[in-house]
Amino acid sequence: MLRHIELPLSVSFIGIPVLGAVGVWLTHWFFGVPWLLALAAVPMTFVLTIICTNSMALTSWTSTSTMAKITQVTLGAIDRSNPATNLMCGGMTSEVALNGANLLSDIQPGYMLGAKPRQQAVGHCIGIVSGALASTPLFFLLFLPMGADGTRSPHTLLTDAFPFPKALEWKGVSDLVAQGLKNLPSSALVAMATAAVIAVVIEIARLRTKGRFPLSSVGIGLGVVLPPDACLMMFLGAFTFWWMGRRHKTPGTKGHTLWVESCEPICAGLKSGAALVGVGNAIVNALLN
């Protein structure tokens, strides 16, 4: 009954093991990650995808970078001699979990625009190819400019214009895995243990109250990890739409149509517009300099 709407299950049954095997092979071939560790990243990917999907459902935000650190620490602790083991396996699990969780936020706008899941899957495939064709030359243009001697050096990646905070975060975790916890300050260890205990207490309280406990360990964790400006804008946006929704409760009115029924397109437009303006500004600066 759903063949004209959904993709057939054979796509998952065949595609997941085939693409998983290809990912394991490429990780070993390009970066020298041991076969068993690259293979161990596959089931970890399923677990992290479930966690990120739950985070997306509760907070509309995916903490994939944070979740990938689980893979980094776990596999990196086994193979400390090769930094690629924790970096590449963490990157692989992070990307799969990110795209799996983001499907939740893609499905609803797709339905609003009249696109069936089958059509959305085709759109994703088109986006993968077009994104790769567009992002690769932009990467060299913005991040690896050609020097006076005609060569490109990775030392030009970190600049004031492009500080790459996430890349430095991944590097820090990789160094931590290689050197051990002995180089961490005691306050960081105390904070990690305290956060773990608080998260367990909150989740137990949520389960015992059947979801009525007001605090969310995922939300609090994201508030600690995300930049303050992102948290502030998320709060202001949520508060604005909540307040306007209370003022315009009647369906069919202009206020309800604008602030309640159109909140997703407004937010999506603001985020997309800000991203496009930022990329455009970076391209102009790169070409002028």
Instruction: Dump pLDDT digits (tens) for 180-228.
Output: 667 677 887 888 889 889 989 998 998 889 888 888 887 787 777 777 8
The number of distinct structural domains making up the chain is 3
Q: Which domain holds residue 247?
A: 228-289
What's the alpha-carbon Rg for the chain, to the nearest Å?
Answer: 22
Distance CA 221, CA 206 (A): 15
One domain, residues 166 and 70:
yes
One domain, residues 104 and 232:
no
Domain-embedded: residue 83: yes
289 — pLDDT class (breaks 50, 70, 90) = low
Distance CA 75, CA 71 (A): 6
One domain, residues 170 and 37:
yes
Q: Do the beta carbons of residue 78 and residue 52 sit within 8 Å?
A: no
pLDDT of residue 121: 80
Which one is predicted more confidently, 179 or 187?
Answer: 187
One domain, residues 233 and 211:
no
pLDDT of residue 33: 87
Domain-embedded: residue 150: no
- Three-state SS for 110? helix
HSE at residue 168, side-chain half, CA atoms within 13 A, is 7
One domain, residues 174 and 47:
yes
Distance CA 62, CA 124 (A): 18
pLDDT of residue 65: 66
Which two tokens mark 269? 């437009």
One domain, residues 198 and 253:
no
Please state the φ and ψ torsions of residue 63, each to the nearest 5 degrees.
-95, 55
52-56, 82-86, 126-130, range with greatest mean pLDDT:
126-130
Residue 280: count of CB within 10 angstroms of its CB: 10
One domain, residues 102 and 242:
no
Distance CA 261, CA 270 (A): 16
Domain-embedded: residue 132: no
pTM of the model: 0.63
One domain, residues 32 and 95:
yes
Helix, strand, coil tally for the chain in percent (to 5): 80, 0, 20
Q: Which range (71-80, 118-127, 234-243, 251-260) has the least confidence? A: 71-80
